[in-house]
Structure 1
């Protein structure tokens, strides 16, 4: 007959170890809350490493101070809860630091450092933490006590090993929990954590003048920016400024925060220029990010319009040494040329001064950026898309020259001026036709032929790229007609170009994505179509297609309204109306870059 377990003086049998279901008493707080055995390895236990959880050990009873970044106050660990409760009127102003979670260092996980804002503009390096994603140890401690108090209220005995500091009502503990979490969130709101901004940059930031034509290298560039931003304050601050601007545009929220971050990144950029130990790749990367900000926020004054002597010296040294030019730096130079071409059209003065343009090297062939995980399909797409992007790059160089023939950039007041422009246009048209005749064999294929030769994973993006580049080519002939004449006089070349644009958009060139949105690469061809056709039906077709782009970064809805209003004005006046000045009169602002 089995013997009964012995009873104590109160007649209560002690809990047997093998049936214990209470909270684990040792190890990290994460394992204790999960009621699993913790190996107690430091700084992270094996359980947390395996499950990629936040590993937090309970702090010691005494207060400890931790070193912080220069220019900030020391952070002191909070007092025990019972000491805080005795002085409830005192505002909680301290939080304990959290060691970073173990994370996989790949393209999808970019979490390292935190930037602290002083007066909302001064950015300096701060502690490694992620307060909104993981609880602070003091909060875990309060939560343990709260759970214990609630168990007591339900008639359950708390675990004998729990560290209770004294009787307290659940309401008091909840209020303390609210006070501590609110304090932590207030402190966090004063910082700019790299993790959410870097993740947003990688996943969301695109450039309408670049990404549709060079999407693979654009994405690889973003990973390179994030990787360098982990250790370079100027690159990180410029990345955050661009991300803040894109968030403002996407969600239609005020851009004051983005403007403040842009000013801070400009200050960090000047410091970077004066640091001889920094590579020019870091300088060029930061330069490009600032130019990207100025391209989207087009009212900002481009910093390369009047470049500093320090930048010109570093650029001149780098341009003379071909051996120092990396694939990323050459790609960024090509993208800067694309941004500059877009900002010289429509009355814009460009992002880059002539001094800088003369020093930027032009490479006959651009090497693609290396991938961390190359595969056969990506390699094949790169082989097919590289000559198409080079075609587009040459096309935009010619487009920039066409833009400089307008009255925004040169005199058009005399007959002699007009004769000079006509001669230059004839030369430009010859170069355009030569460029088209020498396009790659891939660009000569129809969508049906490409789909029969290639897998859909490769064929579809190639077809999309060919379509937007062809539309961009035909758009230049529409632009030339507008540059040459007033009143309205459609040439045969312009009419043919408009028909080609319409056939491409409504054809089988993958103009629409899976959501039914039109590719942003068609923005300029459709806008030129809208303002050059003198028929309300055709104008309505172009406006409806512009409205299907639905891209707040390139302001497609604005250009749809702009194209419709400008065409109505031209039909009333029976002549072309200058687009820039009409935009200022009708909308109150100059037109954005396109």
Structure 2
């Protein structure tokens, strides 16, 4: 007005205009040249979605189309590329005008650039700011933005059955999955589903959203399988993420128990060509075997069908995942930890064989059945002892020796890894004694194994972290200790240690309660009580995987 010039404002890119209250002028709507265009512009921008930038359209057109999972769930790629499209977005214009109006009310002169900032009262500007910010936050809440979920996945998500034994490769896998998810809708949706489930378990909140995301991820997974242009790394990564979801949410039906023909064809082709196997895919196969072993114990039916297991390659040398910023300490830790993880992997293969000798998986009703089991157990024990005798030189060292040879940055995680793997080895002898039958036996091997587990947990093997929490790798050895001992004092020791794990993902508090209640039942009945059926009777649910 001062310069007597026509007001023309260039419309802002990628910014949404919102309907305002009746009688209130929109402070953020772009003003076109004339009133007719202005009216048309307001009518259009108030109902149209935010248009993606040309760069996003060119680079991620397919991703943007496939990441819309359903009417209630939408993965927003824009939040990754544009940090201002998030719940933290601010209404700069309204805030500046509000501050100017408040200054005027206090008697301070506005800046010379303020032309209409004082026209509206502070109350009107505050109400307009509330309406606009609330509308933006409502629209944002209806989206599933990749950025916060990917960040949560990388920074927080762990798997108690894998992470304690392969922590370095687990961390690198998460970065690789996020990178793959930026260009693959199925990987992205599966990553978000796992993160949502993990967050639900971690904070004890409803899992309905995670279940919805899981169903949507399954649909994206089927589309991925039918796309011949997609690499098998993407397929196997998505498969692993879905299996991981099913492992945590253990009442879900595992999709690899009855895999479809498309997956079997792609798996068979990949397995026949050794040169196509990446380090990530081989590592994922190893982790799938670990999850499968855990899901066959305690009456579980397993996560993977026999058809799939037969096609999964068993690599004699498992390459580590590459790091974007390698250093000497990480490289040295990899060299020392690789044979220890391979020891644990072989141990879990034997563990799954022991689990298949239980009455959950085979007949144990006749004397002939029992004789067969005894013979197979003897063979298993021979293999276990051979595995222990051939363990790496690093595993033969005491914590004091390792600390004298290595810097603490390397020695401490190596000591931790050796401790949990040794406890896992001794736990198998406790399990074998339980598998052989009722009544409670006085097996020397089992009693020795229990003493070894207690010495490791109470010893100098870095069993506890800096917060005083016990490593989740001790969950199964301590649980077996708790349910196999027939002494309340020993049971109390094991239960207290289980309670100090404090890991909601592996449900350590629940297993502590099961261990205490099951032992009380066994002491009353003076015999073993079947853990799975007791859990169903006493707690109303089958035991989670461990």
Q: Same-fold call, TM > 0.5?
A: yes
Q: After alignment, is 156-165 or 508-517 more displaced? A: 156-165
- CA shift, 1:114, in A, is 11
Higher helix share goes to which structure?
A: 2
Equivalent residue number for residue 292 of structure 2: 340
- CA shift, 1:389, in A, is 0.1
Query: Which sections of structure 2, spanning at least 5 residues, go unmatched?
Result: none
3-state SS of paired residue (1:389): helix
Q: Distance in 2 between matches of 1:52 and 1:236?
A: 54
Q: In the alignment, is residue 546 of structure 1 matched against residue 498 of structure 2?
A: yes
**Is the alpha carbon distance of 1:158 and 1:228 closer, same or farther for their aligned partners in structure 2, counting shifts above 3 Å?**
same
Q: 1:149 aligns with which of 101, 115, 128?
A: 101
Q: Distance in 2 between matches of 1:490 and 1:122?
A: 59
Q: Is the 8 A contact 2:256 2:303 kept in 1?
A: yes
Q: Is the 8 A contact 1:475 1:528 kept in 2?
A: yes
- CA shift, 1:78, in A, is 6.4
3-state SS of paired residue (1:81): coil
- CA shift, 1:485, in A, is 1.8
Summarize deviations over 1:466-490 as a string: whole Å, max 9, x none: 0000000000000000000201113
Q: Is the 8 A contact 1:69 1:125 kept in 2?
A: no
Summarize deviations over 1:190-228 as a string: whole Å, max 9, x none: 100111100100011100110000000000000000001
Q: Is the 8 A contact 2:196 2:209 kept in 1?
A: yes
The 5 A counterparts of 1:234-273 are: 234-273=186-225
Q: After alignment, is 442-451 or 110-119 more displaced? A: 110-119
3-state SS of paired residue (1:461): helix
**Is the alpha carbon distance of 1:84 and 1:277 closer, same or farther for their aligned partners in structure 2, counting shifts above 3 Å?**
same
Q: Is the 8 A contact 1:467 1:509 kept in 2?
A: yes
Q: After alignment, is 429-438 or 72-81 more displaced? A: 72-81
Q: After alignment, is 148-157 or 531-540 more displaced? A: 148-157
Q: Distance in 2 between matches of 1:575 and 1:459?
A: 43
Q: After alignment, is 422-431 or 87-96 more displaced? A: 87-96
Q: Distance in 1 between matches of 2:120 and 2:68?
A: 36
**Is the alpha carbon distance of 1:571 and 1:414 closer, same or farther for their aligned partners in structure 2, counting shifts above 3 Å?**
same
Q: Distance in 2 between matches of 1:85 and 1:136?
A: 31
Summarize deviations over 1:526-558 as a string: whole Å, max 9, x none: 000000000000000000000000000000000
Summarize deviations over 1:72-126 as a string: whole Å, max 9, x none: 9999966799999999999998499999999999999999999556432566866
3-state SS of paired residue (2:522): helix
Q: After alignment, is 93-102 or 139-148 more displaced? A: 93-102
- CA shift, 1:154, in A, is 1.6
- CA shift, 1:346, in A, is 0.2
Q: Distance in 2 between matches of 1:566 and 1:509?
A: 29
Summarize deviations over 1:219-245 as a string: whole Å, max 9, x none: 000000000111110000000000000
**Is the alpha carbon distance of 1:405 and 1:515 closer, same or farther for their aligned partners in structure 2, counting shifts above 3 Å?**
same
Q: Distance in 2 between matches of 1:399 and 1:52?
A: 86
Q: Distance in 1 between matches of 2:24 and 2:362?
A: 54
Q: After alignment, is 78-87 or 130-139 more displaced? A: 78-87
Q: Distance in 1 between matches of 2:13 and 2:103?
A: 25
- CA shift, 1:570, in A, is 0.4
- CA shift, 1:588, in A, is 0.2
Q: Distance in 1 between matches of 2:39 and 2:399?
A: 75
Q: Distance in 1 between matches of 2:494 and 2:405?
A: 33
Q: After alignment, is 351-360 or 94-103 more displaced? A: 94-103
- CA shift, 1:143, in A, is 1.3
Equivalent residue number for residue 26 of structure 1: none
**Is the alpha carbon distance of 1:76 and 1:181 closer, same or farther for their aligned partners in structure 2, counting shifts above 3 Å?**
closer
**Is the alpha carbon distance of 1:81 and 1:341 closer, same or farther for their aligned partners in structure 2, counting shifts above 3 Å?**
farther
**Is the alpha carbon distance of 1:543 and 1:241 closer, same or farther for their aligned partners in structure 2, counting shifts above 3 Å?**
same
3-state SS of paired residue (2:57): coil
Tell me how large the CA RMSD over aligned residues is.
6.6
- CA shift, 1:160, in A, is 2.1
Q: Is the 8 A contact 2:190 2:241 kept in 1?
A: yes
- CA shift, 1:148, in A, is 1.6
Query: Which sections of structure 1, spanning at least 5 residues, go unmatched?
Result: 1-48
- CA shift, 1:158, in A, is 1.9
Summarize deviations over 1:300-344 as a string: whole Å, max 9, x none: 000000001000000000000000000000000000000000000
Q: Distance in 1 between matches of 2:242 and 2:3?
A: 39
Q: Is the 8 A contact 2:74 2:142 kept in 1?
A: no
3-state SS of paired residue (1:592): coil
Summarize deviations over 1:115-159 as a string: whole Å, max 9, x none: 556432566866766677768988211112112211211222222
Q: Is the 8 A contact 2:67 2:74 kept in 1?
A: no
Summarize deviations over 1:400-430 as a string: whole Å, max 9, x none: 0000000000000000000000000000000
Equivalent pairs, count: 546
**Is the alpha carbon distance of 1:76 and 1:144 closer, same or farther for their aligned partners in structure 2, counting shifts above 3 Å?**
closer
Q: Distance in 1 between matches of 2:83 and 2:68?
A: 13
3-state SS of paired residue (2:350): helix
- CA shift, 1:384, in A, is 0.2
Q: Is the 8 A contact 1:54 1:134 kept in 2?
A: no
Q: Distance in 1 between matches of 2:22 and 2:421?
A: 50
Q: Is the 8 A contact 1:99 1:129 kept in 2?
A: no
**Is the alpha carbon distance of 1:60 and 1:280 closer, same or farther for their aligned partners in structure 2, counting shifts above 3 Å?**
closer
3-state SS of paired residue (2:62): coil
* TM-score, L = length of structure 2: 0.89
Q: Is the 8 A contact 1:391 1:435 kept in 2?
A: yes
Equivalent residue number for residue 307 of structure 1: 259
* TM-score, L = length of structure 1: 0.82
Q: Is the 8 A contact 1:319 1:361 kept in 2?
A: yes
Q: Is the 8 A contact 2:87 2:136 kept in 1?
A: no
